[in-house]
Amino acid sequence: MTDKLPETLDPPTHRLGMLRFAGPGMIVAGSIVGSGELIATTKTGAEAGFLLLWLILLGCVVKVFAQVEFGRYALSSGKTTLDALSEVPGPRIEGRGNWLVWFWFAMWFASIGQLGGIVGGVGQSLAISIPLTVQGSLYNEAEDARISRQLVQVRSIENAQEGAETAHEAAQAEALIAEYAEQYGATETTGPAKLNPPPDAKIWAAIVAVITCGLLVVGRYSMIQSLSITLVTGFTLLTIYNLFQLQTQPDWSVKWTEFVSGLRGNMPANSGGVSPLVTALATFGIIGVGAAELIVYPYWCLEKGYGRFTGPRDETPQWHARAKGWMKVMRLDAWGSMIVYTFSTMVFYLLGAATLHRADLNPSKDHMVRTLATMFHPVFGNWASILFLFGAFAVLYSTYFVANASHARTFSDAIRVMGFIRSDEATQRRWVRILSGLFPMLCLVLYLMYPNPVHLVLLSGLMQGLMLPMLGGAALFFRYRRSIAGLEPGLLWDHCLWLSVFAMYVTGIWTVYSNLVD
């Protein structure tokens, strides 16, 4: 909840004063680090190496212009995003919202699947840290040995003793894998055998979902949210330290030529049935401010009080001055958060390219969290898994927790806009409470039905990629049909907005094309 302040408030005029009222963008940035950076971005780096760094950075920077347009209209009108989207021209069902609102509903369902993937990732983190069954313990040993075997293959062998140690490690790994396969089975493939996973991750995911339901329903989650943001910040700093320390190791360091190659606009080739570009475009939809964050951001701006501080539009000089001042605060908030999540995204991508790509490891299914932890092995050795699992739990659970709370609010607003519930505040609060208990369990069900966290996250990315062009069109509608005289942005901003919308359209068209071809 925001502090109790007057219904209208003059905006601060100095940077420090503006920073005091920043916040919505950092809430969005805190949730972005979860599935976008930790899972999708590193997977893209694992598949493409350094070649698609340019696309990842573009995905972070270019969408902020549309984000500000959404925030601008919310501030000047006091309307929620779904109320605003229902004004966009196009087909509509009388009293039930328009085509954009209904497509948002389809995208929301995919984003629930994304949260299913995230709660699965939380379950995997806990299953690796605290296995619940004997099978789970043996599985952890076998999989750790398998990954260690692949890592030593990348390392340069400088003498005979190191070569003997490497051979011994490989033999130990083979023995552990064979022991597990004999007891619990494995799927035969053309490559290494895939061990049948234990139930530990699913059990932990169920426990986490039930606890989250209780916390959201009773509404006592401010302490956990604050703790999650602290943990996310700490893990991000640890990841940055990890990347810099990699530079001291010749086998893993990011070469300047590799970094530059990632900025040249090159396209990677498909390999082994894997299309890095398709993965990257799915990632493009959710990194930075994805479609979901574009929709949620104005809700946080209104919650912070930007619209209330500006006051109802009355066309007076005082109102115009307040609106212009609070728009400056909102822009500072959006750009500040963009710098934070763009730098974080680049760090995660480079780690994926420098470690996972070189070791030929691709995070997927029950190996997702364990494979991602490999990024910390060259620097932290035996401590890598502990440090990474602590951080993975922090960022994934933070995203799961905050996103479910946000979904409860946006979905209740959606069914209000669609005319399925009354518009009074008591009804809204009741539905927020009901949905807060329902959504975490729905996420769990989707994960149990389809236990592949990476695919669930990328499916949401594809749906958000499809919605990006629609939101780009809506941003142009707000700019040219809902702008208020005296509050319009400048010509340079308009050019950047058009570039942002163009990138969104390219992403949407390519998303459709690539899926039709595949």
In a domain, 312, yes or no: yes
Same domain as 274, residue 181:
no
Boundary residue ending a domain (173, 197, 221): 197
In a domain, 422, yes or no: yes
Contacts of 169 (CB under 8 A, 6+ apart): 145, 148, 149, 152
Same domain as 140, residue 69:
no
Same domain as 259, residue 209:
yes
Same domain as 109, residue 171:
no
Domains in the chain, number:
2
Q: Letter for the amino acid at 3?
A: D
In a domain, 1, yes or no: no
Contact 332, 28 (CB under 8 A): no
Provide the pLDDT for residue 264. 87
Q: Which of residues 266 and 435 earns the better pLDDT score?
A: 435
In a domain, 10, yes or no: no
Instruction: Give the integer Cα–Cα distance in Å for 231 and 52.
Output: 29
Same domain as 460, residue 333:
yes
Provide the pLDDT confidence category of residue 26 given band limits of 50, 70 and 90.
confident
pLDDT surpassing 50 at residue 3: no
pLDDT > 90: percent of the chain: 21
| CATH number, position 421 | 1.10.4160.10
Each residue's pLDDT tens digit, 175-226 = 888 888 888 887 754 455 678 889 999 999 999 999 988 888 876 556 655 6
Instruction: Give the integer Cα–Cα distance in Å for 175 and 196.
Output: 16
Backbone angles phi, psi at 213, to 5 degrees: -55, -50
Residue owning tokens 């029950």: 366
Each residue's pLDDT tens digit, 99-151 = 999 999 888 888 888 888 888 888 988 888 889 999 988 888 888 877 777 77
In a domain, 214, yes or no: yes
Boundary residue ending a domain (165, 182, 197): 197
- Give the helix, strand, coil percentages of the chain, each rounded to 5: 75, 0, 25
In a domain, 151, yes or no: yes
pLDDT surpassing 90 at residue 33: no
In a domain, 2, yes or no: no
pTM summary value: 0.78
Burial label, 279 (beta-carbon count in 10 A; 0-12, 13-18, 19+): buried
Same domain as 154, residue 228:
no
Same domain as 355, residue 491:
yes
Contact 107, 463 (CB under 8 A): yes
pLDDT surpassing 80 at residue 364: no
Domain ranges, residue 376: 15-131+202-517
Provide the pLDDT confidence category of residue 34 given band limits of 50, 70 and 90.
low
Same domain as 190, residue 254:
no
Same domain as 48, residue 140:
no
Measure CA 317 to chain center.
Answer: 41
Each residue's pLDDT tens digit, 443-474 = 999 888 887 777 777 777 778 778 889 999 99
Same domain as 255, residue 106:
yes
